[in-house]
Amino acid sequence: MKLIHDIRTTFTISLLGCFLLSCRTEPTLKPAQDLTLNEGFVNPIGFYDATPSFSWKLPQEIQKQTAYHLVVASSPELLSEDPDLWDTGKVRLGQSLYISYKGKPLLSRDKMYWKVRFWNAEDQPSTWSEIAQMELGLLQNEDWQAKWIGLDTRKDSIKGKSNIIIHTPQYLRKEFEVNKQLVSAKLYVTAKGVFKGFINGKTISEDVMSPGWTPYQKRIESLTYDVTDLLKEGDNAIGFQLASGWHFGRLLWNKLIWGQNGSPKVLSQLELLYKDGTKKTIVSDDSWQGTTRGPIRFAEIYDGEIYDANFQMQGWATSDFEVKEWSKVEVAPLENAISIRPKRHHSVRQKTTLDTKEIITPKDGSGVIFNLKQNMLGVPRLRVPMKKGDTLKVRFSEMLDPDGSFYTDNYRSAESTDYYIAAEDGRIDWHPTFTFHGFQYVELSGFDTSKTPKKEWVTGLVQYSDFDKTGYFSSSHDKLNQLQSNINWGLRGNFFDIPTDCPQRDERLGWTGDAQVISPTSIFNNNVHAFWASWLQTLRESQYVDGGIPFVAPDVLENNKVSSGWGDAAVIIPWDIYTRTADTTVLYENYEMMKKWVSHHQSISENYISQMNSFGDWLQPFQAKESNKRGDTSKKLIGTAFFAHAAHLTSKAAEVLGLKEEKEEYQKLYQTVANAFESEFFDNEGKIKNGKATQTAYLLALHFDLLSDTLTKKAEQHLLHKIEEADNHLRTGFLGTPLLPRVLDAMGETDLMYQILLKETYPSWFYSINQGATTMWERWNSYSRLEGYNPESMNSLNHYAYGAVGEWMYERIAGIKPLEPGYKKIQIAPVPGGGLTSAEATYDSPYGEIKSTWKIEGDTFYHDATVPPNTTALLSIISDNVQSVIVNGASLKDFKNGQVIENEDGIITIEVPSGNYSIQTLR
């Protein structure tokens, strides 16, 4: 009886349900894919944000999403029946990116599971996506029962360079018992210093130099690891190696910033959940023991590492270890002023390896040189035969001098040397742990000389923040491809937890100017959304009370000084990220910083003319001696241009954030500054006055839109004249270089840009390639095959700023450019030129893959383009004759899947929805 009743009820409910939910169609559309949170996180654990945003991609065959339904639950089982955290119901919106969580509040350690379905243009539903998940980290200091622990290494009073205190690396350990069946074990951990963790002798993670670099006086990032598989029932042990890192190491020309007091410390909280529902937490406290008598004897970021195998402590991080002469650790509570927060981007990891390509044995009997034929950042893996008691000395260099000698002067005071002391005869297999180097050449001495050096002795372990590659560019021009490779290696060499200027010398700092110059190119090449969002938090935390933005972030200079074009990273980078990702959070998070920076500009201007200090058009070629690296463009002109631009971008940000009045206010300020700029620096002929007429002066005025229409036209001609004067070479430094392609492009001068780009002579991009560059260089003439190194000591061969031209390569040579934030609307408009016969780029945009590939064969121009789901594109076709263009096999005049919206100046523009397009044009 009961059963019949149940069946009847179920039947009625399902009929009713069917009616309500409209069962017209069984879902047949493929599910949404690539489910991510916030800045692209996939199923993160230890996540930093309790109110995350949700994004997904649609299958390629879907043109448009018209609605979505998102469910969030605290367990996968609840997801379909009873999503207890959030159920959006069917939301009639096309938005598939950054849907903000508005469900039940979440707390530290909470887990969430989520899935989504969508409806297409015909209102057909998709099947549900796969389930994605997230687990929060420890969001506040109160979540930590653990204490900071470590040995007092300061008292050893070991002094290094410039009398700076050296902390001997330490080893910390504790044994504990797992006495019941385990369901899960999570380790929450961080350090003042850098650490590597072990459980039962196995490494906890492959992360490098954790926890990374933040303004430690305000915030230290914590990491979360699932270590369930490393534990066993019975006796267990946990251990950490701990070294100075950025926190206690010398930084920037022999300064200690955070390490003036105390010694390195670890904070560790291991939380076990047993099957019977009980919990056990093992925290860092006074029950731990430590020693400095381990094999890592010395570790410094700039100077290298010393490893003495005689000090090896077999099994020190296992419970079988016999503890002798280990000391009790010092314990300190968490400070209220320092927030411990989950890391909000990916740690540095070993991302790839480079084999030795060539061995050079110098005649003078000095060390043997291993050439990787690629300048890189990371450490070497050394598999080298040694004799007991001998010391292997490992030196690094970016380039050899033309006479083949090993060159290290440009490392300045950074020793950048590793040592390994052998405890027995035989082949070692070792790499340093708590340092990193920028190098292409490795010099070894002190190995077993009875053996002939082999290439496999040295492998480069390439390390950078763990993001994926998103963009590819290639063309028929080999040197252009080499340039693309150099740009990429420049990024790999400087995205080491924060964006740095260089990876090799005694600097390696988060220079703000370099960062703003490279951000668009970096976002195309790699998934660095989270990387930048995280560094922008560091920048916010580093902003001075008066709104000034320091030269570097984290701020190790602490000099309260600012520079125009550098501090402007505070407005330029948030805007760049927003335009390329459509993530409004980056504007919300940084808007106050932007405003404060604009008022700082204002506070050091007189009648809207900037009086701000500036590094100027840094390292501009052929500059007057007295310009002292800062280029010949007037500082006031540069400052005023950036002041106007900063106000302009802040007004745009205000508009996106729906702040109408502020939008108007900043728009007005921009206009006022632009007017002041025009009358102060330009005469009626559109020529520079009150300062030197440089390419960069014109570029700033034009790119930041600071002149009236009439003067703009005139100034454009003066710029062309300046370029002609330089025999179609650039004359730009850090600030002007990224603007050059943008301005010439806007002027329709792409042929000229091709000429400048493909120049072989100094100063040009290919000049460095002709001298053997495999990365971007700090100077246009950092090195030459004939004369060797530029004699200036500030001369890095891995400095990404001039790689900013990458943006033009994929936006115009290949032709992929965002027209609306996040590439919701895309411009696909390649401009062939420079004798190239083909080019292509793909970009994994927030909506899916965008592709643009072209080639010229005989009289025909072939162009294939892919427009991802839920976007539209403006496709440019180089022709003025609709009849002669073939799109997807048919004449353009019969083309139905889109429309011609313009036919002007020899270019037909069609607007198309997502899909693949194959276009043939007769030239």
Minimum Å distance from CB 502 to ligand RAM? 6
Catalytic, out of 443, 749, 778, 840: 778
Whether 507 is a known active-site residue: answer yes
Taken as a whole, the chain contains a residue count of 923
Minimum Å distance from CB 570 to ligand RAM? 15
Q: In the complex with ligand RAM, which residue's Cβ is closer, 439 or 615?
A: 615
* Residues 48-67 within binding reach of ligand RAM (CB under 6 A): none
Minimum Å distance from CB 91 to ligand RAM? 46
Distances (CA, A) of 901 to 395, 811, 815, 817, 919: 61, 21, 18, 18, 16
x/- map, 593-622, ligand RAM, by CB under 6 A? ----------------------x--x----
Exposure letters 305-320 (e unless 16+ CB within 10 A, then b): bbbbeebebeebbbbe
Distances (CA, A) of 778 to 382, 409, 473: 29, 15, 23
Q: In the complex with ligand RAM, which residue's Cβ is closer, 794 or 856?
A: 794
Minimum Å distance from CB 507 to ligand RAM? 6
Contact criterion met (CB below 8 Å) for 168 and 292:
yes
Q: In the complex with ligand RAM, which residue's Cβ is closer, 258 or 618?
A: 618
Q: In the complex with ligand RAM, which residue's Cβ is closer, 470 or 563?
A: 563
Structure-block tokens of residue 729: 């070479």
Residue type for position 562: V
The correct pick among 248, 511, 642, 670 for binding ligand RAM (CB under 6 A) is 511
Question: Can you tell me the distance from the alpha carbon of 698 to that of 637, in angstroms, rounded to the nearest whole number?
Answer: 10
Which segment (134-142, 171-179, 252-260, 511-519) binds ligand RAM by CB under 6 A? 511-519
The correct pick among 453, 513, 815, 868 for binding ligand RAM (CB under 6 A) is 513
Minimum Å distance from CB 762 to ligand RAM? 20
Q: In the complex with ligand RAM, which residue's Cβ is closer, 471 or 738?
A: 738
Catalytic, out of 300, 507, 678, 811: 507
x/- map, 760-799, ligand RAM, by CB under 6 A? ----------------------------------x----x
Q: Which residue has the tokens 């889109």?
A: 898
The number of residues that bind ligand RAM (CB under 6 A) is 10
Q: Which residue has its beta carbon closest to ligand RAM?
A: 501
x/- map, 798-837, ligand RAM, by CB under 6 A? -x--------------------------------------
Task: Mention every residue, 6+ apart, whose C-beta is less than 8 A from residue 426.
Answer: 385, 386
Minimum Å distance from CB 501 to ligand RAM? 4
**838: enclosing H helix or E strand:** strand 838-845
DSSP secondary structure string for all residues of 358-399: EEE--TTS--EEEEEEEEEEEEEEE--EE-TT-EEEEEEESS
Largest interatomic CA distance in the chain: 100
Structure-block tokens of residue 390: 């001998």
Per CB under 6 A, 535 contacts ligand RAM: no
Whether 592 is a known active-site residue: answer no
Phi, psi of 373 (to 5 degrees): 55, 25
Structure-block tokens of residue 149: 């622990």
Q: In the complex with ligand RAM, which residue's Cβ is closer, 513 or 631?
A: 513
Q: In the complex with ligand RAM, which residue's Cβ is closer, 157 or 628?
A: 628
Contact criterion met (CB below 8 Å) for 862 and 909:
no
- 903 forms beta bridges with 908
Minimum Å distance from CB 551 to ligand RAM? 7
Q: In the complex with ligand RAM, which residue's Cβ is closer, 457 or 615?
A: 615
- 267 forms beta bridges with 190
Q: In the complex with ligand RAM, which residue's Cβ is closer, 511 or 643?
A: 511
Minimum Å distance from CB 375 to ligand RAM? 16
- 853 forms beta bridges with 840, 864
Residue 430 has, within 13 A of its CA and on its CB side, a CA count of: 25
Q: In the complex with ligand RAM, which residue's Cβ is closer, 368 or 502?
A: 502
Question: Can you tell me the distance from the alpha carbon of 882 to that of 903, in angstroms, rounded to the nearest whole number?
Answer: 9
Contact criterion met (CB below 8 Å) for 458 and 442:
yes
DSSP secondary structure string for all residues of 402-461: TTS-B--GGGTT---EEEEE-SSSEE--B--SS--EEEEEEEEESS-TTSPP-GGGEEEE
* Residues 490-509 within binding reach of ligand RAM (CB under 6 A): 501-502, 507
CA dihedral 428, 433, 438, 439 (to 10 degrees): 10
Minimum Å distance from CB 618 to ligand RAM? 5
The correct pick among 49, 221, 308, 514 for binding ligand RAM (CB under 6 A) is 514
Question: Can you tell me the distance from the alpha carbon of 853 to that of 816, in angstroms, rounded to the nearest whole number?
Answer: 10
Question: Can you tell me the distance from the alpha carbon of 693 to that of 721, in angstroms, rounded to the nearest whole number?
Answer: 11
* Residues 217-236 within binding reach of ligand RAM (CB under 6 A): none
Distances (CA, A) of 178 to 200, 232, 236, 326, 597: 12, 7, 7, 24, 53
Minimum Å distance from CB 506 to ligand RAM? 10
**697: enclosing H helix or E strand:** helix 695-703
Residues lying near ligand RAM in the complex (CB under 6 A) are found at: 501-502, 507, 511, 513-514, 615, 618, 794, 799
Catalytically annotated residues: 507, 778
